[in-house]
């Protein structure tokens, strides 16, 4: 390949940026580096050493960056670029920055070659950052049991989910330095992106769900269900569903099958449809379903009737009613409310809740005073 016309006095360019050894070194080049090429070709572009074509009085600046590199002229646009000796030593491809000040070159020398951007000195181990030292430790401590990695992932996911930790916290430099300090080998296993952590959590959820499905299939007892509908202060209706059974080892188990939003009317059919969807997800058929322990809302009666008609069409109406159990705690609670507040207890409870959410505790005390001595006693407590 021939050189550009402005460099016609130069010999043919070599096809590689690697310098050739020579007996003498340039006056501007540190003695620790081999003699740089007069010109070379990279990515199809010819570069010629600036000192080769410069006027007789040409000199490099006083910045420390010239201890570690030289100026070359790019043949395509005649711009001056930085040729790094450290990249040659490390057998890295030249980045060839256009020289517009020294900031970019300083950053390159510090980040890639550990050369201090202020002093121009190579950092010793004691001067390296915590992260750099941990990287060195990781390189010398690459052995890690697969079982240990799997356990680490499980504990990390449990911490994120149970403590409501944002995924991006795993990108935090200080948290990562803490983990790498405890075990530098984690550097090769801890993801750098929050998106990867999210995929870990979702994969763990799917895996645990499959495991739970298998445990439900192997249950020694029928699977009894408890569910309740709750409306949040911001008017989100949420249905929580819990399963209870005896597992294959004879232990009593209970777990949350799901928490689902309820849209529209809170009828028994709407609630029953959500429960049936969950049963299908977990492959729970009519032969596995046991009893339903619920509060005394009439919509729950209708929901159980709707579910059992779909899952157990062979059951008689009387058998379906027997599968619906009433929560003793809820019954006692209703009795206490009726004893304290009388017939209109639901109306008073709604008012109490409204004033309590608003923080109007004076109104709350006023309402309790209407219930006689027990209400006044409640205010004292």
**Cα–Cα distance between 174 and 131 in angstroms, integer?**
9
Q: Which residues pair with 227 in a beta bridge?
A: 241
* Mean pLDDT split into 10-residue runs, the chain, 381 residues: 41 41 40 80 89 70 84 90 90 86 85 83 60 50 62 90 90 86 79 87 93 93 92 88 94 93 88 93 90 88 92 90 87 80 75 77 77 68 60
| Residue 279: alpha-carbon gap to chain centroid | 30
At residue 162's C-alpha, the angle toward residues 282 and 191, to 5°, is 95
Q: What is the pLDDT of residue 55?
A: 64
- Name residue, tokens 């445990």: 215
**Burial bucket for residue 31 (CB in 10 Å: 0-12, 13-18, 19+):** exposed
**Cα–Cα distance between 229 and 231 in angstroms, integer?**
7
Q: What is the pLDDT of residue 19?
A: 39
**Which domains, and CATH codes, for the chain?**
5-126 (no CATH), 138-212 (no CATH), 220-326 (3.30.420), 331-380 (no CATH)
**Cα–Cα distance between 237 and 262 in angstroms, integer?**
5
Q: Is 95 helix (H, G, I), strand (E, B) or coil?
A: coil
**Cα–Cα distance between 377 and 368 in angstroms, integer?**
9
3-state helix, strand, coil in the chain (%, to 5): 50, 15, 35
Q: Is 20 helix (H, G, I), strand (E, B) or coil?
A: coil
Mutual angle of helices 328-341 and 345-358, in 10-degree steps: 90
Mutual angle of helices 361-369 and 345-358, in 10-degree steps: 160
Around Cβ 284, how many Cβ atoms within 10 Å?
22
Q: What is the pLDDT of residue 56?
A: 63
Q: What is the pLDDT of residue 146?
A: 61
Instruction: Calculate Rg over the CA atoms of the chain.
Output: 37
**Burial bucket for residue 271 (CB in 10 Å: 0-12, 13-18, 19+):** buried
What number of residues does the chain have?
A: 381
**Cα–Cα distance between 229 and 277 in angstroms, integer?**
16
Q: Is 204 helix (H, G, I), strand (E, B) or coil?
A: helix
**Cα–Cα distance between 352 and 372 in angstroms, integer?**
16
**Cα–Cα distance between 277 and 320 in angstroms, integer?**
19
DSSP 315-326: --HHHHHHTEEE
Around Cβ 306, how many Cβ atoms within 10 Å?
20
């Amino acid at each position: 390949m021939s050189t550009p016309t402005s460099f016609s006095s130069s010999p043919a360019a070599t096809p590689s940026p690697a310098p050739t050894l020579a007996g003498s070194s340039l006056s501007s080049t540190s003695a620790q580096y081999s003699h740089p090429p007069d010109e070379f070709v990279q990515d199809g572009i010819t570069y010629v050493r600036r000192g080769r074509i410069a006027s007789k009085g040409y000199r490099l600046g006083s910045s420390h960056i010239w201890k570690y590199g030289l100026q070359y002229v790019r043949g395509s646009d005649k711009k001056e670029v930085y040729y790094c000796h450290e990249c040659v030593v490390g057998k890295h491809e030249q980045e060839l920055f256009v020289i517009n000040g020294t900031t970019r070159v300083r950053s390159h020398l510090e980040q890639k070659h550990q050369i201090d951007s202020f002093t121009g000195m190579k950092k010793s181990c004691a001067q390296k950052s915590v992260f750099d030292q941990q990287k060195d430790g990781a390189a010398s401590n690459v052995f890690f049991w697969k079982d240990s990695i799997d356990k680490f992932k499980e504990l990390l996911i449990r911490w994120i989910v149970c403590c409501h930790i944002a995924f991006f916290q795993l990108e935090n430099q200080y948290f990562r330095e803490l983990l790498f300090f405890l075990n530098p080998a984690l550097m090769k296993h801890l993801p750098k992106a929050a998106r990867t952590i999210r995929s870990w959590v979702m994969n763990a959820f799917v895996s645990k769900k499959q495991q739970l499905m298998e445990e439900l299939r192997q249950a020694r007892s029928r699977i009894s269900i408890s569910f309740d509908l709750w409306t949040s202060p911001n008017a989100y209706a949420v249905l929580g569903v819990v399963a209870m059974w005896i597992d294959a080892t004879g232990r009593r188990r209970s777990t949350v099958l799901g928490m689902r939003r309820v849209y529209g009317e809170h009828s028994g059919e709407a609630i029953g449809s959500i429960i049936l969807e969950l049963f299908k997800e977990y492959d729970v058929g009519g032969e596995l379903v046991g009893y339903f322990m619920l509060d005394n809302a009439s919509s729950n009666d209708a929901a159980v009737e709707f579910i059992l008609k779909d899952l157990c069409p062979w059951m008689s109406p009387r058998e379906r009613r027997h599968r619906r159990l009433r929560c003793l705690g809820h019954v006692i609670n209703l009795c206490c409310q009726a004893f304290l507040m009388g017939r209109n207890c639901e109306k008073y409870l709604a008012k109490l809740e409204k004033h309590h959410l608003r923080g109007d505790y004076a109104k709350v005390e006023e309402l309790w005073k209407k219930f006689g001595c027990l209400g006044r006693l409640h205010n004292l407590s």
